Amino acid sequence: MNVLLADDHAMFRQSLRALLEREGLEVGAEAGDGREAVRLAAKHRPRVAVLDFSMPLLNGIETARAIRKRAPQTATILLTMFEEDDYVLGALAAGVRGYVLKAQAASDLVTALREVANGAVYLSPGISGALVDYHLQRGRANVDPLTDRERQVLQLVAEGKTMREIATLLSVSVKTAESHRTRLMRKLDLHNTAGLVRYAIRSGLIQA
């Protein structure tokens, strides 16, 4: 099984690589941020991508959405500290097939990889399987009002990027980037950057 690891902490990636290689799994590529993970997934077409929830430039959920579009044969597993229902449902809605708590990664990740590679959904013990049933039967309780691009802009604004830097990262004009910011602020009824940062933290796009 070929695996992509994506986490912005190099030492944590190294420990995961050692864990997986001891179990006979091949780590074919590593990424330090979400955008790099999408690029490498499209290039290498791994069987599974293991994604940290909180990554710079593109968080784990948005990375999973992008990989689903650009490398649909690659299944995704999210590594996270969040156990709350909203985060789990958000991950499932993005197409994530495995949800592993970081505190349980050493014991859960190999099992999750094998389950997900065989087409199953894996949730760390302690996360209710009823959430999966809820997602499959009824979808998310609260529909996200933002588009994929608006969520990307929101994360980058919250990370302190300027409009020019955001435009360069997204390969759009500064005017287009500003339009995305204006629309998302209107949708969220927010009126300043501080409000956007608070919303991004509450939504799990960035860490406080």
Determine which helix (DSSP H) or strand (DSSP E) holds 134, and give its type and residue range.
helix 130-138
**99 exposure class (CB count in 10 Å sphere: 0-12, 13-18, 19+):** buried
pLDDT of residue 141: 46
Q: Is 207 exposed, middle or buried (0-12, 13-18, 19+ CB in 10 A)?
A: exposed
Residue ranges, the chain, pLDDT below 50: 140-141
Q: State the Cα–Cα distance between residues 11 and 28, nearest whole angstrom.
A: 17
Which pLDDT tens digit goes with each residue over 84-129?
777 888 888 889 999 999 888 888 999 999 999 999 999 988 776 6
Query: What is the reported pLDDT for 130?
Result: 54
Check residue 138 and give its pLDDT. Answer: 55
Answer for the pair 41, 71: CB distance below 8 angstroms, yes or no: yes
Sign for the pseudo-dihedral over CA of 165, 36, 71, 138:
negative
Q: How far apart are CA 206 and CA 59, in angstroms?
A: 7
Rounded CA-CA distance 67/95 in Å is 9
pLDDT at 118: 93
Within a 10 A sphere around the Cβ of 208, how many other Cβ atoms?
7
pLDDT value of position 136: 58
Residues β-bridged to residue 30: 5
- Taken in order 6, 8, 10, 13, the sign of the CA dihedral is negative
**Domains of the chain in sequence order:** 2-138 (3.40.50.2300), 148-202 (1.10.10.10)
